[in-house]
């Protein structure tokens, strides 16, 4: 009888142990099921550092293949990291790094009307909404090739965890197809850059090629509210882009020929605007390919490697993000989120400004200077150039020198043209009755005069 009671007691103990073992298994199953039915949450996980958090992906998501364009055979590629280097906190950098991985994983079908990027999750103590906004901006600036990432995102906090959900403009399948199309076009740009060019010449080559192949959308096209013109895809593949697309495209292309650059923003002509800061031969300059794309007979270069002083004539830079409060960055209390830059650049030089390279400098009106201008005019006429530039030396008074050239005796410029015409055959001679001179405030800051040439 004792043996039977002992066996029964052992059986009961084993049964209780077995039931206790089943309970956590059932709970784990329910958590997993919840993850499949909702965007995954890591709130129940033990405390870890953000870099240790493993993002879970269910079968609704697909990781896309992201092949890069072929590298230039002549120049080294550099990685754009101005945005990352500008981040101030660990939380900002963690969001940036997590996005670098998650942005390639996209929902196969639309969820609540949108294709969703795999959620970013980290502890709320690490980053607030302002940190998220700054980090996402930095990532977008450093990665213009990630054209499918919308600038819209959802930020929420639950159980001490931050959840960031972002949107892809397109499905994973469309994304892979468009990446291949974009890379094919980029390869043509990159492989066409001649060997042996200096940094200035490489920048000029890609600048001119971009604005020769891309146009600003018409008003009717802008009303269609398409995302492509705001991206490198729109600029290079569809050949239609707004300022953000131009700036993204030139930055991405320059990185493949070993030129450092970044997108900056502010306002121009009373509207929000984006352009670039570019590092040439160790110095930073501003470059605005959008406003250079005027589709004149020759490419325009008014905003090619200019200083901040010149830029300020018709551009206003937004303040860096660290000058704003978190509420200002996020648009709290029913206000709009402020526009900001990630970093500031010291752009004081004109050493590699376009006109420094191409303009004829007027140091005075002696025989040597006069002969040099005549020679340059003759060469311009022979090559059928429609724009000719004179740069007034800083040692001369700009207004007085310009007056002597065009407005008062001895009208030096007209004398230069007459001397050049004696050396030119009919059909290539400069038409003295059709001379148009530009001496705007922008050009005055460059000590510059532009002359439109026509021939007879």
Q: What is the pLDDT of residues 248-295, one digit of tens each?
A: 999 999 999 999 999 999 999 899 999 999 999 999 999 999 999 986
For residue 234, give every residue at least 6 positions away whose Cβ sits within 8 Å of its Cβ, in sequence order, or none.
226, 227, 228, 240, 241, 242, 245
pLDDT of amino acid 296: 55
Please list, residue by residue across 75-88, b when 16 or more beta carbons sit within 10 angstroms of its beta carbon and e when fewer do.
Answer: beeeebebbbebbe
pLDDT of amino acid 23: 34
- Domain-by-domain residue ranges, the chain? 74-168, 179-330, 359-452
Q: Dihedral sign for Cα 338, 229, 144, 352, please.
A: negative
pLDDT digits (tens, 9 = 90+) for 140-153: 999 999 999 998 89
Neighbours of 14 (CB within 10 A): 10
pTM of the model as a whole: 0.82
pLDDT of amino acid 57: 55
Q: Tell me which residues of the chain have a pLDDT lower than 70.
A: 1-57, 295-298
Measured distance CA(151)–CA(54) in Å, rounded = 24
Fold observed for domain 179-330: C8orf32 fold (3.10.620)
């Amino acid at each position: 009888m004792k043996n039977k009671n002992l066996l029964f007691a052992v059986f009961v103990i084993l049964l209780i142990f077995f039931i206790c073992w089943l309970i956590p298994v059932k709970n784990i199953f329910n958590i997993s099921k919840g993850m499949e039915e909702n965007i995954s949450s890591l709130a129940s996980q033990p405390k870890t550092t953000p870099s240790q958090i493993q993002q879970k992906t269910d079968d609704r998501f697909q990781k896309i293949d992201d092949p890069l364009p072929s590298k230039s055979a002549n120049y080294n590629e550099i990685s754009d990291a101005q945005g990352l280097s500008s981040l101030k906190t660990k939380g900002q950098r963690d969001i940036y790094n997590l996005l670098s991985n998650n942005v390639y994983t996209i929902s196969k079908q639309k969820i609540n009307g949108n294709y969703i990027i795999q959620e970013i999750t980290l502890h709320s103590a690490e980053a607030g909404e302002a940190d998220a906004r700054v980090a996402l901006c930095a990532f977008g600036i450093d990665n213009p090739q990630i054209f499918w990432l919308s600038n819209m995102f959802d930020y929420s906090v639950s159980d001490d965890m931050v959840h960031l959900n972002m949107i892809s403009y397109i499905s994973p399948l469309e994304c892979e197809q468009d990446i291949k199309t974009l890379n094919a076009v980029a390869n043509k740009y990159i492989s066409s850059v001649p060997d042996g060019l200096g940094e200035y010449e490489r920048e000029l080559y890609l600048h001119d090629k971009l604005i020769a192949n891309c146009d600003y959308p018409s008003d009717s096209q802008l009303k269609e509210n398409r995302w492509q013109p705001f991206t490198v895809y729109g600029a290079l593949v569809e050949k239609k882009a707004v300022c953000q697309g131009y700036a993204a495209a030139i930055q991405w292309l320059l990185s493949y020929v070993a030129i450092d650059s970044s997108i900056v923003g502010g306002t121009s002509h009373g509207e929000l605007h984006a352009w670039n800061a570019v590092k040439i031969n160790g110095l930073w300059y501003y470059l605005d390919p959008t406003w250079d794309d005027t589709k004149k007979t020759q490419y325009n270069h008014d905003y090619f490697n200019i200083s901040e002083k010149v830029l300020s004539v018709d551009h206003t830079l937004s303040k860096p993000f660290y000058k704003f409060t978190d509420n200002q960055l996020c648009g709290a209390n029913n206000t709009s989120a402020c526009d900001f830059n990630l970093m500031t650049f010291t752009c004081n030089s004109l050493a590699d400004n376009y006109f420094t390279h191409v303009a004829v400098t007027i140091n005075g009106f002696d025989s040597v200077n006069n002969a040099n201008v005549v020679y340059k005019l003759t060469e311009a006429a022979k090559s059928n150039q429609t724009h000719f530039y004179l740069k007034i030396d800083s040692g001369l008074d700009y207004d007085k020198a310009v007056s002597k050239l065009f407005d008062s005796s001895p009208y030096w410029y007209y004398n230069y043209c007459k001397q050049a015409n004696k050396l030119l055959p009919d059909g290539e001679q400069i038409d003295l009755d059709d001379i148009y001179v530009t001496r705007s405030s922008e050009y005055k800051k460059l000590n510059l005069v532009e002359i439109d040439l026509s021939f007879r």
